[in-house]
Structure 1
Amino acid sequence: MKRQLRSNFPRGSYLWSVRNAHWQALGIPEADCEKPKIAIVNSSSELAACFSHLDGVAKVLKEAIRAAGAVPFEIRTAAPSDFITGAGARGAYMLGARDLVTNDIEVAVEGAQLDGMICLTSCDKTVPGQLMAAARLNIPTLMVPCGYQASGEFRGKHVDIEDVFVSAMHAVTGNMPVEELVGMSREAIRSPGVCSGLGTANSMHIVCEALGMALPGSAPVAALSPKMMDDVRAAGARIVQMVWDDLKPREILKPGAFANAVRCILAVGGSLNCVKHLQAVATEGEVDVDVYGLFETLGPATPVLAGIRPIGEHTIEAFEAAGAARALMKQLESLLDTGMLTVTGKTVADNLRGVAVANADVIRPISRPVAPNPAIVLLRGNLAPESGLTKTGIVERKQRSFTGPAICFWTSEDAIAALKNGTIKPGHVLVMRGAGVRGGPAMGGGASRVVFAVDGAGLGDKIAILTDGHLSGLVCKGLVVAELSPEAATGGPLALVQDGDSITIDLDTRRIDAALTDDQWQQRRAAWQPPAPAHNVGWLQQYRRNVGPLSEGAVLVRTGQ
């Protein structure tokens, strides 16, 4: 006997009658009103290639859901693309939109009391926003990775959006002709989909599968490929059965699932942004897990098994051909919690049974890693009592520590101007602050632009950078420690640093410290005044006033009232 669906109301009741009237007008017959009602969460947009194909994907998905005996309802959310949405408010709308996506979904899906949802995952912030909604609403949910874009070629060399991003700051600092950059930008993207490197989007697609929230073998995938469309159809059939089985996200999103996701990101040297996004999903799902602590403890025990651009030489296409996330999990199997349940209704162990790695030179076994040391390192110290994150890459660093005098900036514009006029010199520790979740707000402030500008100025291996801002998921340039917490805008230690203070960053001890006495800290603390808050109107004001700390994933605060 099939269970009672929450979307169904007594025939002839007020709620049944008004819904039936609307749905009749939409061409949905009365008999279908008793079927499972599935939300297709679509962040379609004509602003960016990341989202431009999703309407076509939704159409195929609707057909699959109907064929499986359910009724699809397409809903729309905000569609933030870093390269487009980052233009306004110094980039604050990028991370700020993640929680807007979550709330968009809650309003549409919870308000209508739909029975399940299937999320078309695409660019950086939509993926965690959708996962956060799944964890919050706790109705049957399936994530469908919607693919990476085809990259191009310029003057006989590979070119993708990462190359354009990096090269743009080389042009800003005068080290690349503008016309060279223009030519690259015209060839970098040749199809819809997310960035083709292992940035935040592809990293989070891998996270979806590692958590057990996407079908095995579905990430990453080339956008609109036959493989992707087969996965879309399979997902359409599967979500309907998940509704009848009442298989909910909180049955899947257990601490072991988060540990599995952390292992996978470590094993590919994925985006730093995954740390806060995973913590946000855990917070929304009320899962008792410290994701930052997992990266800290599992990092040294998780070798890098795949070197994908930008940290390695292999392309995302090669990673997919080698077996993608499923093959990565197979190589990591001895380190995973394979008893975790997944959207298939089976465990990780069940899903990995019989899986073969197509190319063990691209996705290596644990016995033959690309690099034995973690590509992502969590540091602490008197400048980062809670945490700081660095992406070290897979090349063994000759210099494992850096000590130098601080040179401090509150805006990326001032830092880049200092680069241009030669104020920043070899040996400096560049401090870029005021770019945290409250100070930016939403981590707007252009920390990534500063990092790329430093590289463009030829100082990438000659200085170090500390920031409470976040970095592009594609960043892997020089010794940069990001997301120092607590942030400067709330009085974190980074706010108290002055030009000339000696700062040491040590990757071996995993510490970041300023050489200040207790008296100096106390004197500066007593004299400190918080900076004037940015954005006192609109969504960013609401975000700034309500966002929680990074240790909780920077989600909007729950007041408990």
Structure 2
Amino acid sequence: MRSDKMKLGSKRAPHRSLMKALGLTDREIAGPIIGIASSASELIPGHMHLAQVEDAVKAGVRMAGATPLRFSTIGVCDGIAMDHKGMYYSLPSRELIADSIEIVAEGHPFDGMVFISNCDKITPGMLMAMGRLNIPSVLISGGPMLAGNYHGKSLDLISVFEAVGRHAQGNIDDDELAAIESYACPGAGSCSGLFTANSMNSLAEVLGLALPGNGTIPAVDSGRIRLAKEAGMAVVRLVKEDICPRNIATEDSFMNAVAADLALGGSSNTALHLPAIAKAFDVDFSIDNFDLLGRRIPHLCNLSPVGKHHIQDLEAAGGIGAILSRLNELGELKRDARSVTGKTIGEIADASRVWDDEVVRPVGRPYHSEGGLAVLHGSLAPDGAVVKLAGVPEALRVHEGPAVVYEDGEVATEAILAGKVKSGDVVVIRNEGPKGGPGMREMLSPTSAIVGLGLIEKVVLITDGRFSGGSTGAVIGHVSPEAANGGPIGLVQEGDRIRVDFNKRSLDLLVEEDEKKRRAGALAEASAEKPVAAKHNPDGYLARYSIFVGSAAEGAIYRKDFVEAASESVKRLQSGETS
């Protein structure tokens, strides 16, 4: 057993003595030791109940004859971090989560691990750690929040953001805004639409790294507790069979995840997280996979923020198994991909059924003929940009308009709410990428303002930042290279014509090449004469993050060449070299 490194033999008597200080018996020490990484927190609605999930996981581990030991990691609630300095830290927290789990698990060699997660960056961070460590593991999420209800209408967090725009326009009064605020989020769980958290928790199932039901069983359903017990038992079986995450999540698994994401119409953030997770699993992956499959796989679910259904409706319709079943019908499922259940993904699909043909449409009657996400390329995004295609109004499938340029998401939101953005405009928000932000903030407030002001079918928004899984409309994010890395988005000037063709997957700045070269030269000259300070003068962790982070097109992970260069610099300093 891996844990023998810290407990076996006479030389490990001091180690065992410290374990006994924890209250462990000789029998508990002798058995398999399962590390439980938990992000339980009183700060995040999706995590407020995870102590109960922890107890259930530990019960499952003990029922299977092993010893559970829990430790904690951090988490940021994107909704609470929105529109202030906190949002700069959301995406960077993903790397810290992965790093912190790696540190604990290497410092205490567990035989297996259970990862208890739920929200936006926490689930991807935990999956990245799982791939790095590659010891028998299972992920269990805390489950989705139920939808709220106000006067018979279903609500979720995005309803509140959009209500802010309606309130600014005078369409609702203070009392109605307060009522929507109070009823939209009724309790524990990850926000109830197909936003980033629920997208990633669902894709964890498809990757084979979580049990069926992980993405859709509601947080308040006792089925979630039973699933947590099953996860505890499953990891002990994986330990006994020595089945590790990289034995399960292969290239086929990631292609299945993309296929399921397209059918679901998941968050555009999946195009940021799947490449990062694939890298941790040593799997080659390109965001162009979304486009490769997106033209073949139809959009079958119309969940919030695009449609009227919520995650609880998908659970009632058959859950992620229903999606796998539809993909199997299409012949687009890699059936031999494995899962932590011991069954193949094909076997899980065969055992699944669709119980509601409106929530999970038949393949011959999709909501859209193409998948929910697309990748655009062109002179404005040479390395790609990502759009939630399912949310793009038909009226904007092909659009050309004048650029309205902002250097900051909050400034853009204020301008939109003040009526400074007009029908036909292309709003450009730049210097919000992984490096330039730093931290690649979500642009939920400007997109919600556009919806709230009734401009959703009249305005396109483009950014080198990213969008909340709750964003909808003709909103294009992850524009790469970002402005801070010399991308063409940094050359756009007020009034420039921008053309987007979602059908052809193109995004172009309609400015002559000579003029773009002139602008680039002028920017370089200005920077040489007076170096521009980082946008928000980051210090501490953000300063380090902005130096090492790579392109959004590659998952916004730390650049290997920068890390290696830093290591070499340290070695030179240690050897007495000064240059």
When normalised by structure 2's length, the TM-score is 0.92
What residue number does 1:23 align with?
19
Residues 205-241 of structure 1: per-residue CA shift (max 9 Å, x gap):
1100010111134331111312211111111111011
Q: Which residue of 2 aligns with 1:376?
A: 373
Deviations 1:460-510 (A, max 9, x none): 222211111111101113x11111111011111000010111110111211
1:493 aligns to 2:495 (yes or no): no
The amino acid of 1:501's aligned partner reads D
Contact 1:144 1:214 in 2 (8 A): yes
57-66 or 177-186, which deviates more: 177-186
Cα gap change, 1:112/1:288 in structure 2, threshold over 3 Å: closer, same or farther?
same
Contact 2:248–2:339 under 8 Å retained in 1: yes
Q: Deviation per CA, 1:37-74: give whole Å up to 9, x if none.
A: 11111111111211100011101211211121111111
Distance in 1, Cα, partners of 2:516 & 2:386: 23
Find 2:96's aligned residue among 100, 104, 129: 100
Equivalent in the alignment of 2:575: none
* Residue identity (%): 35
The equivalent of 1:191 in structure 2 is 187
What is the SS of the residue equivalent to 1:332? Answer: helix
| Residues 70-89 of structure 1 mapped to structure 2, 5 A cutoff | 70-86=66-82, 88-89=84-85
Query: Please, which of 547, 550, 553 is the counterpart of residue 548 of structure 1?
Result: 550
The partner residue of 1:204 within 200, 214, 218 is 200
2:338 pairs with one of 310, 333, 341: 341
The residue number in structure 2 matching 1:431 is 428
* Structure 2 counterpart of 1:137: 133
Q: Report which stretch shifted further, 529-538 or 362-371.
A: 529-538
Q: Please tell me whether the aligned partners of residues 128 and 204 of structure 1 are also in contact (alpha carbons under 8 angstroms).
A: yes
1:125 and 1:173, CA in 2 relative to 1: closer, same or farther beyond 3 A? farther
Match of 2:9 in 1: 11
Please name the residue that 1:302 is paired with: 297
Distance, in Å, in 1 between the alignment partners of 2:393 and 2:440 is: 30
**Any idea what the Cα deviations from partners look like across 1:418-449, whole Å, max 9, x if unmatched?**
334443222221111111111111112x5221
Judged with a 3 Å threshold, the aligned counterparts in structure 2 of structure 1 residues 42 and 181 are, in CA distance, closer, same or farther, namely same
- Which residue of the partner structure matches residue 469 of structure 2? 473
Structure 1: distance between partners of 2:221 and 2:107 = 34
Contact 2:500 2:507 survives alignment (8 Å): yes
CA distance in 2, matches of 1:556, 1:176: 45
Kindly provide the CA deviation profile for residues 232-271 of structure 1, in whole angstroms up to 9, marking residues without a partner as x: 1111111011112111111112111000000001001010
Aligned partners of 2:404 and 2:426 also within 8 Å: yes
Q: CA deviation at 1:412?
A: 2.1
Indicate the larger mover: 160-169 or 504-513.
Answer: 160-169
Q: Displacement of 1:532 after TM fit?
A: 2.3
1:506 aligns with 2:501: yes
Q: Secondary structure at 1:158's aligned position in 2?
A: strand
Secondary structure in 2 matching 1:371: coil
Contact kept? 1:435, 1:447, Cα under 8 Å: no
Q: What is the one-letter code of the residue matched to 1:84?
A: I
Query: Which amino acid in the other structure matches residue 339 of structure 1?
Result: D
Q: Secondary structure at the match of 1:204?
A: helix
C-alpha distance in structure 1 between counterparts of 2:2 and 2:100, whole Å:
26
Q: Is the 8 A contact 1:384 1:512 kept in 2?
A: yes
Q: Residue 454 and residue 398 in structure 1: after superposition, are their counterparts in 2 closer, same or farther (change >3 A)?
A: closer
Alignment of 1:240-251 (within 5 A): 240-251=236-247
| Cα pair distance change 1:418/1:10, threshold 3 Å | closer
Of residues 321-330 and 4-13 in structure 1, the stretch that sits farther from structure 2 once superposed is: 4-13
More divergent stretch after superposition (181-190 vs 409-418): 409-418
SS at structure 2 position matched to 1:335:
coil
Change (3 A) 1:539 1:18: farther
* Aligned length in residues: 554
1:532 alignment counterpart: 533
1:115 and 2:117 aligned: no
Match of 1:453 in 2: 449
Query: 1:322-341, aligned counterparts within 5 Å?
Result: 322-333=317-328, 334-341=331-338
Change (3 A) 1:436 1:500: same
Q: In 1, distance between residues paired with 2:454 and 2:234?
A: 52
Task: Please give the alpha-carbon distance, in whole angstroms, between the structure 2 residues aligned to 1:545 and 1:170.
Answer: 40
Residue 175 of structure 1, CA deviation: 4.5
Cα distance in 1 between the residues matched to 2:396 and 2:180: 33
2:547 alignment partner AA: R
Contact kept, 8 Å, 1:406 with 1:430, in 2: the verdict is yes
| Structure 2 residues without counterparts, runs of 5 or longer | 568-579
1:152–1:187 CA contact under 8 A, matched in 2:
yes
Partner of 1:158: 154
Query: What residue number does 2:59 align with?
Result: 63
Paired residues of 1:153 and 1:187 also in contact (CA < 8 A):
yes
Q: TM-score, normalised by structure 1?
A: 0.95
Q: CA deviation at 1:526?
A: 0.7
Taking the aligned partners of 1:19 and 1:398, their CA distance within structure 2 comes to 67
Corresponding residue of 2:573: none
Bigger CA drift: 208-217 or 149-158? 149-158
**Alpha-carbon distance in 2 for matches of 1:95, 1:178:** 33
Residues 312-327 of structure 1 correspond to what in structure 2 (within 5 A)? 312-327=307-322
Aligned to 1:406: 403
- Measured after TM superposition, the shift of residue 395 of structure 1 is 7.6
Residue 168 of structure 1, CA deviation: 2.4
Distance 1:191 1:423 in 2: 37
Distance 2:411 2:391 in 1: 32
Residue 442 of structure 1 is matched in structure 2 by 439
For 1:126-182, what per-residue CA distance to the aligned partner results, in whole angstroms no more than 9, with x for missing partners? 110110000111111101122111232223422221211222243345543233222
State whether residues 307 and 394 of structure 1, in contact with CA within 8 Å, keep that contact through their aligned partners in structure 2: no
- CA–CA distance in structure 1, aligned partners of residues 171 and 438 of structure 2: 31
Q: Is the 8 A contact 1:161 1:188 kept in 2?
A: yes
Task: State yes or no: 1:229 paired with 2:229.
Answer: no
CA contact (8 A) 1:433 1:469 kept: yes
Shift of 1:116: 1.4
